[in-house]
Structure 1
Amino acid sequence: MRLSSSVEWWDESKLRVLVLSSLSLQYFLAVFAFGRRFSVPSWYRLLIWLSYLGSDALAIYALATLFNRRNNQQCNSAPGSRDIEVLWAPILLIHLGGQPFITAYNVEDNELWSRHIVTTISQVTVAVYVFWKSWSSSAEKSLLAAAVLLFILGSAKCVEKILAFKGASFNSLASHSEPAQSKRTTTRDREKELEEYVQQARDSIKASHPPLVDDSMEQLILPDKLFVDSAYPYSDRVTSLKFFFLLDDQTAYWSLKRGVSIVFNLLYTKYESTYTMLKGSMLCSICTWEITVVVSIVSISLFHYSHKNAYSRSDIVVSFVLLYGTFLLDIISTLTLLSMTGSVVKQTSDIVAQHSLIEFCVNSGICRFMKPCHSSQKPCHYSEDISSLIRRYVLRGWKEFITDAESYRKFNDVRGQWTLERKQCDERLGWSLERPFDESVLLWHIATDFCFHQKDTPRSNQCANRCREISNYMMHLLFVNPEMLMAGSRRNLFRTACDQLNEILACDAYSNKTELTQKLIDKLKSKEGSKETFIHDAWQLAEGLMDIHDETNMWEVIQGVWLEMLCFSASRCRGYLHAKSLGAGVEYLTFVWLLLAYAGMETLPERLQRTYMTRLSQEKKQQLENRGEETRKEPSSQNQAIEQVLKEEGNVADPASSEVIGLHSQEETVTAASASNDEGTAPVLDEIIVVVH
């Protein structure tokens, strides 16, 4: 008996529960979805994700329930209640239009905008069909007018959502970039443009100006093109660089937060139309807000003046809650939007994620199968200090290292070599930077911890603290986001090093990180179990660092190498990965990447599209011809002959040239053999020397 009464109550109240639950989810998203741009607990992000998916599913289920109720001839509700229930259909359509702060949960959602068109058409069609089939001819005209107005509002919101998806897709963002120049340019022309850019940038940096205030942030380039891997014109970059280095450290950091916040809004919210030139989306947003205010007020007024005596009290209460609740929801969203405009620099996280190999091993003694998505350390909150160090490092590079296009490219390719050369440590420590980048990061991470504990460095040492924070962040990237650290980075290096560490320690007991590190150092000093492992290589690196007698100088070396590695990693991460990370709480690497762009460094598209010169000068060609006979007789001396010619021209500057030389040797041998077999054949091109620019 009790079960049957419960089923009867659910059949009667199911639709009311569904529509009120749909409204509740919309309020939850409007209030809490804004926080997902920060570093929040995983359970918070899970709730946002479930609400984002469930809001559409719940509204569609409510529409289906409304459609099925029209066939129920034994409804226990008061006469005419079905008419007022049909008024809820356009309100559910408004809910399907979503909230302005969470149009997309993942960046991939924007790429499916064409699928959303089909989904939206089907949703609107179902809502209209339900309304048409369920509305009785005896219903009040005022309710009909209110329903029509709400249908207009719901349809406009659904169209606005589609435009937001389309406008934030990568193809749309790329298509709104400046049109490509049709002017034919040669490699020398582009090289000349780069030389001019470098000189203009150096001149603007050398010019002394007082620090500027917040207004100068408007002179910085909007970073939307960077996230689709598009390069900005040199003129815009010179202007941005000039103003960026005139800002004080705090304002410069705020400009980074502002840029990241703008792109987050562009990709994941309807707020993007404020910053882009997508006129359709902007016009739709303005019209939708005006329609919302007018239609909501008119609809509420029409419902107030309708004859509500024919309807059940429960349905009347639910209708008022839906009408006023939906109207208030739009007001809350509008006020939040206005408050965002004035506090855009406060909308991103200031934390730097941390992950330590040694501390992970300590924790894995308690929980062996620790999930890789969890950091073993609390994040630090010194992103502004680290950003200031990077800014000063780049500024020093412009003043002391970069003099022309070649040195400009070389500066963008260093990952610790410049610091070692300046500190005269390259002979002792340079080997650690010749390994694959992910291995170099691992070695320097472990060596940094060794130096900190072996030297008994006080925690008040700010330089040492920044070194460890950057070190732990780079290890976080290797373990959690290896694709952002560097293409091809191997996450299993972390686990391999951890297994090697446990093997060295054997069954020794330890209770904390300091004790583990000290036991490990003692075993490494005693050469116990000595063999080639990451741990032993890291200890060799740490010994080389500790041979620097001045501890302050040692930490300056470590800090310089970590800054170069951090910049090296950021500049080689695709814009798509930076955009994807914004939806998960913003990686600090994105701040570094944006800082390098503002500071005029080489972008990833420029690095990938470096041109190659394949033409030989007449003088060099003559030199090669004079030595051609000798090199044909002695093919083994081919490389030395060509290398000598190139050295005389001053063009052998990097390993890429040596690789090309080796290729020439093979091609020349084949050409000589072919000529000896068939002397009557036409002459062929003996050599093409490729010089990278």
Structure 2
Amino acid sequence: MKIQLLPKMLKDVWDDWGIELLIAVSCGMHMVLTLFGSSRRRMQARKVSLRFIMWSAYLLSTYVATVIIGKLTVIPVSDYEEEVTDSELRGFIAPLLLVQLGSHDAITAYSIEDNRLGVRQIVSLVAQSSSVVWILLRCWTYSAISYLYLPLALAGFIKYGETTWALSTALTGKSGVTISELRQDPKYLSEIFKNVGDDPDLELILRAYCRFYFVKPHIDRWLYKPLYESNLKWYSIDEHHKNPEDMFRITDLELGFIYDVLYTKAPIIYTWTGFVFRLVSTLCLVSSSVVFACLFRDSFVFYINAGVIFVVLGVIITLEAYQIYMLFLSDWAIITLIEHRNKPGVKRLLNALVRRSRKWKRWSNTMGQFNLIRYCLDYDRLRCGRFLKFKGLDIEIRKYFCTNSVGIPSALKEMMIDEMAKLNNKKQEVKRLKKEKKKSSYIGRIGEFALNIHNIILPESAESFNWCVGAVADFDKSIVVWHLATEICYHSETGKQHPHPKTEMGRILSNYMMYLLIMRSDMLSITTSDIVFLHASQQLRVVLKTGKYTLIRDEKTACEELKTRNLAVGPESAETEPTMVTKDWDVLGDAKMLSEKLSQNENAWDLICSVWMDMLCFAATNCGTNRHLLHLRRGGEIVTHIWLLQRHNRDEEHPSSKDKSLMGDTNRA
């Protein structure tokens, strides 16, 4: 009997309190998206729980609002003879839902795909707005409370309209980005740089903003091109700013501007139109809340719906105040204030913001790390159920638990800039030789530029290093072989009293390239990474005899084992049949041979770092633009910063050159 009554009880609760429960859920999602929306750019990829919460809030907010509006459309029509009716109070909820849906300044799009479907939001705007108007007409009684619908509805239409505008224009450049004078008047731009030249931090921000405009033609579907070719002195990095910290800070700032354009309302709210909209919507919300509180100051207990509405108004206004405060703590605010720097009080505010801006974290500033040997040693310790193995999820879970991240030290950034300069000089030399139709030792393999920098010429040294640099088709194999060889060399170096200063940097780069191969293979444009990884890990586990009774528990012992014993692994030892990709590939033998050759080289770690940087530069250039922009919302990747530095370096050298493809120039020479 009790079981039969349960559905009726649930139905009664849903009929009586369903709207209030959904409003509480909607307010919770509104708080999550407002408070944590901007943290995605700084969040490490391993924070899956918070990302899942934000993803769920972003997707469900519209559905929850639709359900509430559906329930509101069937509430009884207000009685004109009563002073205050329940239907009249519930009518307040409809415009407040529009305010909540459009109030997220820090997260308008969860991914780039949302921007591509932004035009569809216009249909949603029309449908939701029409439903809200219908609800307000049904609840209208010509009382003082009914007239409060008007400012709330105006605020809701403005907020939801801003979000739709931001989504539909993010990829077209028609969102009205701030201070267009910087693009239109070169004299004005020159005057600004002259006046801010005494503040290097402010000059870096302005220079990054100019570079941000210049990179737009290379971003998918941004079709307009500002005429900076005659003004490259403002766009390029001069000698004063060519230290690694400044160069990476400029890319941090520039990618921050790109992130805001793609995923937030920043291009809209930092314009005069956005300022007017924000002022009007805020005044509407505040005035409506004040009047509502005065009308029901002694009746919140009697009218429960009035108390619910007042709480919702309080949450919305509090979050709105927080967002207005955050508007001043951004690089866009600094750019906007530059235009008005000569007005009273603005210069002092500008200087205060610039000083604080050095502490703002614009991305995760970390590098993912994946160690293949550590993965194989921990493979049997991370036990997974049969269902996970049946679905193939056990490997993904093991990958996740064997992945970590490290901060990027300043020495590593300096080394990256130095190696990029060397690689660029070598590439220019090869291009010059080809242009002059002179004989060049360059063959066209990944890592070959780095070997040439260290005077290792492949045709004459084929038996030494020719086999360990790969063609584009074998890029994933080259990463695995060099990763294992780097590990062997690293643990051999750590036993020395004075290890090479680049030892740690080489290992960080090695683990990072493996991380890209295993966890971010889309950024390497590789389709065979899973096959190569599975083959290499199986071969390695057979040699190390990982399991319950193995004596090998750490990477150092494992590397000693790889150095000293015969690494031949027969096909009968493998768990799966060899494929076309891995046929005749002796991954462990290649890694052992490479480590032996490297140990005979006096500048082994210089060579290792050069090769990894060559691979990283190749990956950055050949990664699709959309892939780079997609990972900005996941904390960002250092490979994206390398891509941007290379992109601008090529434009500075050839300002009139045009991109051959948005997917990057795949020509190595």
Q: TM-score, normalised by structure 1?
A: 0.73
CA shift in 2, pair 1:376/1:609, >3 Å: closer
Asked if structure 1 preserves the Cα contact closer than 8 Å seen for 2:631 and 2:637, the reply is: yes
Report the CA distance between 1:302 and its aligned residue. 2.8
CA shift in 2, pair 1:127/1:173, >3 Å: closer
- Among residues 420, 424, 428, which one is paired with 2:455 in the alignment? 424
- Among residues 267, 280, 297, which one is paired with 2:262 in the alignment? 267
Report the CA distance between 1:584 and its aligned residue. 2.2
Report the CA distance between 1:396 and its aligned residue. 3.8
Map 1:434-445 → 2, pairs under 5 A: 434-435=470-471, 436-445=474-483
Map 1:610-649 → 2, pairs under 5 A: none
Q: What's the secondary structure of 2:31's corresponding residue? A: helix
Distance of 1:481 and 1:541 partners within structure 2: 26
Distance of 1:444 and 1:173 partners within structure 2: 46
Does residue 1:581 correspond to 2:631, yes or no? yes
Report the CA distance between 1:333 and its aligned residue. 0.9
- Among residues 277, 285, 289, which one is paired with 1:296 in the alignment? 285
Distance of 1:235 and 1:469 partners within structure 2: 40
Map 1:113-124 → 2, pairs under 5 A: 113-124=118-129
**For residue 471 of structure 1, what is the amino acid of its counterpart?**
S
Map 1:294-693 → 2, pairs under 5 A: 294-306=283-295, 312-341=302-331, 342=353, 343=357, 346-367=361-382, 369-371=394-396, 374=400, 376-382=402-408, 384-397=410-423, 402=428, 406=432, 415-426=446-457, 427=461, 428-435=464-471, 436-457=474-495, 461-488=500-527, 490-506=529-545, 509=550, 510-524=552-566, 532-548=585-601, 550=602, 553-600=603-650, 606=659, 608=661
**For residue 288 of structure 1, what is the amino acid of its counterpart?**
F
Report the CA distance between 1:103 and its aligned residue. 0.5
Structure 2 spans left out of the alignment, 5+ residues: 181-197, 332-352, 384-393, 572-583
Asked if structure 1 preserves the Cα contact closer than 8 Å seen for 2:111 and 2:630, the reply is: yes
Distance of 1:545 and 1:162 partners within structure 2: 57
Aligned to 2:110: 105
Aligned to 2:29: 25
Distance of 1:169 and 1:5 partners within structure 2: 50
Asked if structure 1 preserves the Cα contact closer than 8 Å seen for 2:95 and 2:156, the reply is: yes
Does residue 1:228 correspond to 2:228, yes or no? no
**For residue 480 of structure 2, what is the amino acid of its counterpart?**
L
Distance of 1:56 and 1:229 partners within structure 2: 27
- Among residues 215, 218, 228, which one is paired with 2:203 in the alignment? 215
Q: What's the secondary structure of 1:36's corresponding residue? A: helix
Per mean C-alpha deviation after superposition, the further-off stretch among 241-250 and 15-24 is: 241-250
Distance of 1:161 and 1:434 partners within structure 2: 47
> Any idea what the Cα deviations from partners look like across 1:3-46, whole Å, max 9, x if unmatched?
66775455323222222331222112111222222215101100
Report the CA distance between 1:304 and its aligned residue. 3.5
Q: What's the secondary structure of 1:374's corresponding residue? A: helix
**For residue 422 of structure 1, what is the amino acid of its counterpart?**
I
CA shift in 2, pair 1:242/1:49, >3 Å: closer
Asked if structure 1 preserves the Cα contact closer than 8 Å seen for 2:33 and 2:58, the reply is: yes
**For residue 555 of structure 1, what is the amino acid of its counterpart?**
W
Distance of 2:570 and 2:600 partners within structure 1: 23
Asked if structure 2 preserves the Cα contact closer than 8 Å seen for 1:256 and 1:591, the reply is: yes
> Any idea what the Cα deviations from partners look like across 1:123-180, whole Å, max 9, x if unmatched?
1111111221233x3x51x22221011111111111111110012136869999x9xx
Distance of 1:348 and 1:164 partners within structure 2: 22
Aligned to 2:137: 132
Distance of 1:339 and 1:574 partners within structure 2: 32
Per mean C-alpha deviation after superposition, the further-off stretch among 577-586 and 336-345 is: 336-345
Report the CA distance between 1:398 and its aligned residue. 5.8
Report the CA distance between 1:395 and its aligned residue. 3.2
CA shift in 2, pair 1:408/1:11, >3 Å: farther
Asked if structure 2 preserves the Cα contact closer than 8 Å seen for 1:356 and 1:472, the reply is: yes
Aligned to 2:249: 254
Distance of 1:361 and 1:520 partners within structure 2: 13
Asked if structure 2 preserves the Cα contact closer than 8 Å seen for 1:227 and 1:578, the reply is: no
Q: What's the secondary structure of 2:465's corresponding residue? A: helix
Asked if structure 2 preserves the Cα contact closer than 8 Å seen for 1:109 and 1:165, the reply is: yes
Asked if structure 2 preserves the Cα contact closer than 8 Å seen for 1:211 and 1:247, the reply is: no
Report the CA distance between 1:370 and its aligned residue. 3.2
Asked if structure 2 preserves the Cα contact closer than 8 Å seen for 1:504 and 1:523, the reply is: no
Q: What's the secondary structure of 2:626's corresponding residue? A: helix
**For residue 444 of structure 1, what is the amino acid of its counterpart?**
W
CA RMSD of aligned residues (A): 3.9
Aligned to 1:60: 66
Aligned to 1:618: none
CA shift in 2, pair 1:489/1:285, >3 Å: farther
Distance of 2:443 and 2:238 partners within structure 1: 21
Report the CA distance between 1:291 and its aligned residue. 1.1
Q: What's the secondary structure of 1:68's corresponding residue? A: coil
**For residue 146 of structure 1, what is the amino acid of its counterpart?**
L
Asked if structure 2 preserves the Cα contact closer than 8 Å seen for 1:292 and 1:330, the reply is: no
**For residue 291 of structure 1, what is the amino acid of its counterpart?**
V
Runs of 4+ aligned residues of structure 1 deviating over 4 Å after TM superposition are: 1-10, 170-176, 210-214, 229-239, 307-311, 397-401, 407-414, 455-461, 527-532, 601-605, 607-610
Q: TM-score, normalised by structure 2?
A: 0.75
Report the CA distance between 1:516 and its aligned residue. 2.2
> Any idea what the Cα deviations from partners look like across 1:192-216, whole Å, max 9, x if unmatched?
xxxxxxxxxxxxxxxxxx9965514
> Any idea what the Cα deviations from partners look like across 1:395-417, whole Å, max 9, x if unmatched?
34566763696469999977432
Q: What's the secondary structure of 1:353's corresponding residue? A: strand
Asked if structure 1 preserves the Cα contact closer than 8 Å seen for 2:251 and 2:641, the reply is: yes
Report the CA distance between 1:473 and its aligned residue. 0.7
Distance of 1:153 and 1:212 partners within structure 2: 41
Distance of 2:523 and 2:83 partners within structure 1: 61
Distance of 2:238 and 2:269 partners within structure 1: 23
**For residue 520 of structure 2, what is the amino acid of its counterpart?**
N
Report the CA distance between 1:572 and its aligned residue. 1.3
Report the CA distance between 1:68 and its aligned residue. 2.5
Report the CA distance between 1:326 and its aligned residue. 1.6
Distance of 1:404 and 1:397 partners within structure 2: 11
Q: What's the secondary structure of 1:113's corresponding residue? A: coil
Map 1:82-97 → 2, pairs under 5 A: 82-97=87-102
* Structure having the higher Rg: 1
Structure 1 spans left out of the alignment, 5+ residues: 179-209, 276-281, 611-655, 657-691
Distance of 1:173 and 1:289 partners within structure 2: 16
**For residue 45 of structure 1, what is the amino acid of its counterpart?**
R
> Any idea what the Cα deviations from partners look like across 1:239-288, whole Å, max 9, x if unmatched?
5444277343322222121112111111111113378xxxxxx4542232
